Structure 1
């Protein structure tokens, strides 16, 4: 798509070529008319100069020899005859073809067109071959009109046409051009003299000058326009911004966060793409159509008028219209929402929880008394309760993207303090989870981000020396996974030094020398209290306080945290969190008369004891399930349940998974799925291992909700301890 500066060149070239053709036709009749001769010269000279500003080298290479011939005619070196006029008309047509090729958006002029131009130039000046074709071919490889003109795409182009009364009103065109030098560097000036009348008709007090000025400046459009503030009534002014300025307008429009719907003109003025005067002129054009006859003439949109007047690029207008539409949609969406007090919403969730419990109690009574005629009604109510539960929980769901966005400032400030260059990339911000979870995860995420910036990333010099990009990348990502939200914090930094972690852990007495640990187990040591790999503490990290708190806070949310790292390549921290802390789908199991609930999203499968698919190794506390070995824990042993008369029920294995960690839980009975309203434990039971909360059953009994993450950790530790003792 052509930019506005090229459009102006094409439009004005077409007008000049038409004037040139008319003058040449008159020259056939009156060869000695100096006015027509000057008109042809001015037209070809102006086209050549403008083409030079815009870097259209093929047009410059062709029109320059034609201009030289016309200069010889003016100086009496060459006479005008019908053959010369015919050749000049062909040159005019060829110039029109060159301009047309530009309007079609062709980057290179075709070989056929170049050769046709060379043939014309050879006929025009047979005694001296111009070599224009070779010049253009060479310039394709290294275009060089002048060193400064190559930067024309980043110049302001000012189209300045003075009216005939400008001089009578005391204006000096040269003073305005001189004042522009204060704004920047004037790269090129083309003076248009094609409006000059013949000398006999020329009035000394009238102004016939027009200018096209290429200005290299950091000034804004409004500042450049202010130079001509007092001459607006005596000139026609168009200011075409450079390419870099257009990109700035587009970026500003993208960043606009309007609270109210602004008009198109106001948006364009707000970003600096339009001046008040330009808007006023366009509105006058629009209103003049309305006042003439709105029934017979189509009223053009303001944006279309601005583009036609070449004061704003079509791309900028389209972007402004798009921003208008997005603001309109945002306002429409906001009218659909009402603010609700968080405490009232919490009360609603609590009442929904009580409704779930009461419905479960009614269901039990119906089953106990075998009230078949009521069963259908109860089932219907149960469905409604589930819908109410889901919608009530949805009210408290918020996108995590707002939380992620807060870390842009953290990354900027901390990386600057550490003399590091780090870019934050956010993905998955549309993932939703409970507002209470979002509030409680902010502090752990802040610590992990700051820790990554301090420990993870190298300095720019170190990264370059290692063959890495100078700028590091920190990624925050969120996604849903089987009833959980997964948050990932990844960096492409130095990675964790497992040897150093192990050494520090041995010094702290967390492990003993020679103890066998896998790569993942060593990485997990960073969550131990007091362990840090930094030799000196800073105001950001290095005191060994924080990662253990991060894990404890995430555990309190019934979540899990894992670390993967490869030396020299980076680190990935993965957090799994439940979507809500209020009501979940649970899976109820039993040991003797006790009831326990496992979050259903963590249950992979259940296997009966009397099958041959699994085998318990009571000595090493591992279970082999169809060739897959995993640690296990028996709830009866863990909670010290005493069986009546020493009898045990048929045992079952419930396979649970949190992230990539899996384990087996051996229970006596499987009761199936259950809507579970989570109740917090009292202070007396808050330190109870393997339990994260409780729920009230329909019968009024209490069932403990298992802390699956904690149980997997305990089972793994127990199996590891047995393995270690056996090796000793």
Structure 2
């Protein structure tokens, strides 16, 4: 059994709404929430409740309804959105997410889940009990001006106000005006009547069959406007009948307008649906609008209805705002389309096969040396490259969404640790492959929690060290040489090299007399079971996590580096490829084997000096002078144990990863090519120096060189040579 498309869409939209709701609540905790932010929180809850109702999810509807009622009071300025309420609402968001997860897994709500709903509802109910009803002071300023009827009577009560001017022939037509007023009593209570005599002629000029009187009526009723208007259906022609709602109804109309679905409705339809305007009043207004001599002189229908005193200006303004919001949403939706991720993956796979086929066609064209065929395959190659870039861009998403989730993590963990920590985010617009974004979440969570627990000191320690009481955790992302860099940094105590070294010796990871560089010491924290925590807590001390971080990052063909200054803080720098699917590569050959080096890491290619060719072939690493710079290099022939004699002329591919450079010695340089990365199987994925494979146009397999691990091999070999020399 699987969820249908509509339910899947509901689940996705719920999660998006919960994310926006949580972000707004976290912002409200740091600074007073704006009216717009509060309305956004309310709309998110209202939309979730309404959508759940469409699917008959009563347990979700009943739970969200209580939260929505509390948010409605916040919106009406009856209760403040203070930190305790924000904390409660964040728990509500979590619980709604849990309810949606049960729904996605096709699980019925169990007793624990329902009990959790009941506990939170009880907490919310506190805000709903013993609170005074909304007063006039809680309404927006623009609502406070009294509305005047045609007779000049202000309307500022909680009763309906009816202004009646009957057709003067109403008596002559056999209708009694007072009978209609008496019939109003069946719908409610006539509170007061003011009889208007301003049109009465002198006594000697009066016609006994003509109605000269007008009436201003205060009417208390729960009926809607259309129902009240229907009382006067038989005398509407030739009469002036205005029905103004109670003051309390105005805020209700505005709320109804704001909560309406995002349908593309005209102004009159919006006002009719919310109940402030009747169909007959709209038709009368449209008829009046059409009576002008030139269409260019016609007033907007909203102005016409206000002039006719059938709707209030604030209600029209709310309807116009709703129209604008709907239009903005429609414009945004018109530029976006939701695509199944599996379909997108299938497209990328097909583009990969197209690249391989195009490469094969190019090889045939080069072999045949036919000018027209060469030109055609060259055009196809350019088009394929454009299609590749376009297809890959479809999978690129900003990392800001992942970063934003850590606002909640930092808030909760800092409260658990009893530390005051602020989160600073930058580079959230940086884009990378959706697959990478999905898989980097867990490693980032480990690093963030580790920085908060181990890195940032308690308040008293920070004060003693002359630091601000509030600790700072930073998340940053940026592009660098075809890679994306994600940095997690803190202004805490930094890493203690001596403590790490001593703990590693104690764990038997290294020997006491072993000489390690600063980076090698820092990297010991990524070893399984390593921990410098003095005590086990809910967050740390069990030696589980940092080894998982490195393993997950390496699975994405990335690396993690550590920069630290004792007493000032530490930075964890993650370097990842922009995409895991297709890259530009540089093809080289060693003996009968082909290899691909990621093109964005290639700096230049030079010929290996004759004095170095074949020199120290028994060693993996050596050095050359690159324009005054000492450059270590590694021979692929030796590294992969390729048999046969090297050619008289060897080449060096100079590569750079981060701030490190090295050379890779190969036999031949074959040039650039588009590379479809395919993962190695479980048997081969542990081989160092290989990050995958690709299929060439001629059907042969080429291995993709893992430059970072090659650099580590070269550094180890260079350090060994230096150690031996000393």
TM-score bracket, shorter-length normalisation:
0.5 to 0.7
Q: Secondary structure at the match of 1:406?
A: helix
Q: Secondary structure at the match of 2:500?
A: helix
Q: Secondary structure at the match of 1:664?
A: strand
In structure 2, distance between residues paired with 1:528 and 1:704 = 28
Structure-2 residue corresponding to 1:77: none
Contact 1:614-1:623 within 8 A present in 2 as well: no
Distance 1:633 1:258, change over 3 A: farther
Say whether residues 1:625 and 2:603 are aligned partners.
no
Matches within 5 A, 1:33-44: none
In structure 2, distance between residues paired with 1:471 and 1:264 = 51
In structure 2, distance between residues paired with 1:299 and 1:265 = 11
Matches within 5 A, 1:481-630: 481-610=480-609, 621-630=622-631
Distance 1:609 1:166, change over 3 A: closer
Task: Please say which of residues 688-697 and 430-439 is displaced more in the overlay.
Answer: 430-439
In structure 2, distance between residues paired with 1:257 and 1:540 = 45
In structure 2, distance between residues paired with 1:157 and 1:397 = 45
Distance 1:722 1:162, change over 3 A: closer
Structure-1 residue corresponding to 2:643: 642
TM-score normalised per structure 2: 0.57
Q: Secondary structure at the match of 1:684?
A: coil
Structure-2 residue corresponding to 1:377: 376
Contact 1:486-1:577 within 8 A present in 2 as well: yes
Shift of 1:234: 14
In structure 2, distance between residues paired with 1:369 and 1:496 = 62
Say whether residues 1:360 and 2:353 are aligned partners.
no
Shift of 1:693: 0.7
Matches within 5 A, 1:283-322: none
How many residue pairs were aligned?
490
Runs of 5+ consecutive residues of structure 1 not aligned to the other structure: 1-154, 172-232, 238-252, 268-274, 278-282, 306-310
Shift of 1:391: 1.6
Shift of 1:540: 1.4
Shift of 1:464: 3.5
Distance 1:528 1:358, change over 3 A: same
In structure 2, distance between residues paired with 1:359 and 1:161 = 75
Structure-2 residue corresponding to 1:192: none
Structure-1 residue corresponding to 2:477: 478
In structure 2, distance between residues paired with 1:468 and 1:290 = 70
In structure 2, distance between residues paired with 1:157 and 1:299 = 21
Q: Secondary structure at the match of 2:683?
A: helix
Say whether residues 1:332 and 2:324 are aligned partners.
no
Structure-1 residue corresponding to 2:6: none
Shift of 1:515: 4.0
The Cα RMSD (Å) is 5.0
Distance 1:235 1:697, change over 3 A: closer
Distance 1:266 1:427, change over 3 A: farther
Structure-1 residue corresponding to 2:680: 681
Contact 1:423-1:473 within 8 A present in 2 as well: yes
Shift of 1:301: 8.1
Contact 1:607-1:652 within 8 A present in 2 as well: yes
Q: What are the superposed Cα offsets for residues 608-664 of structure 1, whole Å, 9 maximum, x if unpaired?
A: 113899998869744442232343211111011111xx3524111212122223222
In structure 2, distance between residues paired with 1:395 and 1:410 = 29
Distance 1:468 1:324, change over 3 A: farther
In structure 1, distance between residues paired with 2:275 and 2:465 = 54
Structure-2 residue corresponding to 1:454: 453
Shift of 1:166: 14
Q: Secondary structure at the match of 1:496?
A: coil
Contact 1:487-1:576 within 8 A present in 2 as well: yes
Shift of 1:702: 0.8
In structure 2, distance between residues paired with 1:428 and 1:168 = 56
Structure-1 residue corresponding to 2:221: none
Contact 2:621-2:714 within 8 A present in 1 as well: no
Shift of 1:458: 2.0
Distance 1:544 1:266, change over 3 A: farther
Structure-1 residue corresponding to 2:406: 407
Q: Secondary structure at the match of 1:511?
A: coil
In structure 1, distance between residues paired with 2:361 and 2:506 = 60
In structure 1, distance between residues paired with 2:620 and 2:367 = 44
In structure 2, distance between residues paired with 1:258 and 1:426 = 34
TM-score normalised per structure 1: 0.57
In structure 2, distance between residues paired with 1:415 and 1:261 = 45
In structure 2, distance between residues paired with 1:469 and 1:258 = 48
Contact 2:646-2:667 within 8 A present in 1 as well: no
Shift of 1:561: 1.2
Distance 1:266 1:393, change over 3 A: same
Q: Secondary structure at the match of 1:533?
A: coil
Distance 1:327 1:472, change over 3 A: farther
Structure-1 residue corresponding to 2:419: 420
Shift of 1:696: 0.8
In structure 2, distance between residues paired with 1:361 and 1:679 = 18
Shift of 1:324: 7.7
Contact 2:620-2:714 within 8 A present in 1 as well: no
Structure-2 residue corresponding to 1:225: none
Distance 1:235 1:691, change over 3 A: closer
Shift of 1:494: 2.2
Q: Secondary structure at the match of 1:699?
A: coil
Q: What are the superposed Cα offsets for residues 162-191 of structure 1, whole Å, 9 maximum, x if unpaired?
A: 99x99999x9xxxxxxxxxxxxxxxxxxxx
Structure-2 residue corresponding to 1:669: 668
Contact 2:436-2:579 within 8 A present in 1 as well: yes
Structure-2 residue corresponding to 1:442: 441
Q: Secondary structure at the match of 2:531?
A: coil
Q: What are the superposed Cα offsets for residues 33-91 of structure 1, whole Å, 9 maximum, x if unpaired?
A: xxxxxxxxxxxxxxxxxxxxxxxxxxxxxxxxxxxxxxxxxxxxxxxxxxxxxxxxxxx
Structure-1 residue corresponding to 2:15: none
Structure-1 residue corresponding to 2:89: none
Distance 1:373 1:430, change over 3 A: same
In structure 1, distance between residues paired with 2:265 and 2:408 = 29
Q: What are the superposed Cα offsets for residues 535-587 of structure 1, whole Å, 9 maximum, x if unpaired?
A: 11222122222212211221121111111112222221111111111111001
Distance 1:548 1:622, change over 3 A: farther
Contact 1:622-1:629 within 8 A present in 2 as well: yes
Contact 1:649-1:668 within 8 A present in 2 as well: no
In structure 2, distance between residues paired with 1:612 and 1:664 = 16
Distance 1:235 1:409, change over 3 A: closer
Task: Please say which of residues 708-717 and 427-436 is displaced more in the overlay.
Answer: 427-436
Distance 1:563 1:615, change over 3 A: farther
Q: Secondary structure at the match of 1:439?
A: helix
Matches within 5 A, 1:83-232: none
Q: What are the superposed Cα offsets for residues 328-387 of structure 1, whole Å, 9 maximum, x if unpaired?
A: 444322233333222222222112111111111111112112222311111111112112
Task: Return the index of the structure with the highest Cα Rg.
Answer: 1
Shift of 1:595: 0.8
Shift of 1:257: 14
In structure 2, distance between residues paired with 1:653 and 1:504 = 41
Q: What are the superposed Cα offsets for residues 442-482 of structure 1, whole Å, 9 maximum, x if unpaired?
A: 11111111111111222234333433333222222222222
Runs of 5+ consecutive residues of structure 2 not aligned to the other structure: 1-139, 158-243, 249-257, 277-281, 307-312
Shift of 1:292: 11
